[in-house]
Structure 1
């Protein structure tokens, strides 16, 4: 019966002994929900908007993110913070690989297209399942658990 249960069978209280490291040069971008909430607090964010994407940022994405920040300021928020949260799990085979996407996201920040002072770049460790509204709800709730108030899919 245990062998038929699959790869994982757990019960009772669990304790994480150490965070998982991938050793792929991207571990600094793999922040837990708790780490993200701490970062937002350090940045004195009064609102957080998350932007999910599975490909490089293009001009439309950049406009949407910068315009969202402006709209939040117009609504009275003083320190809107962007959680730039690319998918880090499986995506389509012809998608740009995660390390390349992270380099591109960093270049967009370095070039000032997005304001680094109000942006947190972190990997969202989930695959793209193409499951429609159910998946959108899961992704949005996961971002809310990390401290986001608004969620945008790119």
Structure 2
């Protein structure tokens, strides 16, 4: 895992391109294209913030995914991740979600992990069911219905 703050400008631009890719963007709360200067300002804000952490997951020279951890409160946190749309690796979503779940529970020692997923993202919903995430509520974001789910360490 590489912290966004440690990335050079070329890598930051590459990740912005992946984030603005329509296949990624359609599953994010912010549906608009993000401009480079806004992206760089956002990353620079992590130098003084402790409420969000963004990382790139990579294997050797291949960037696999972006992951962020946020909303640290009451022994819980939320996470999101999106895959590099230009890589095709069988079962990568399942493997990465398992790694991230283990990271939160074993390394960060946070007992409750939450995430939000658009109701029409059946692939992620089915993946979350495999790991025993429970739906706790629904809401609307970006004019779409969102499932808020959580996984408690003891329910794994």
User: TM-score if structure 1 supplies the norm length?
Assistant: 0.30
Query: Which structure shows the bigger proportion of residues in strand conformation?
Result: 2
Instruction: Compare CA radii of gyration and give the structure with the larger one.
Output: 1
User: TM-score if structure 2 supplies the norm length?
Assistant: 0.30
Q: With a CA cutoff of 8 Å and minimum separation of 6, indicate the structure with the bigger relative contact order.
A: 1
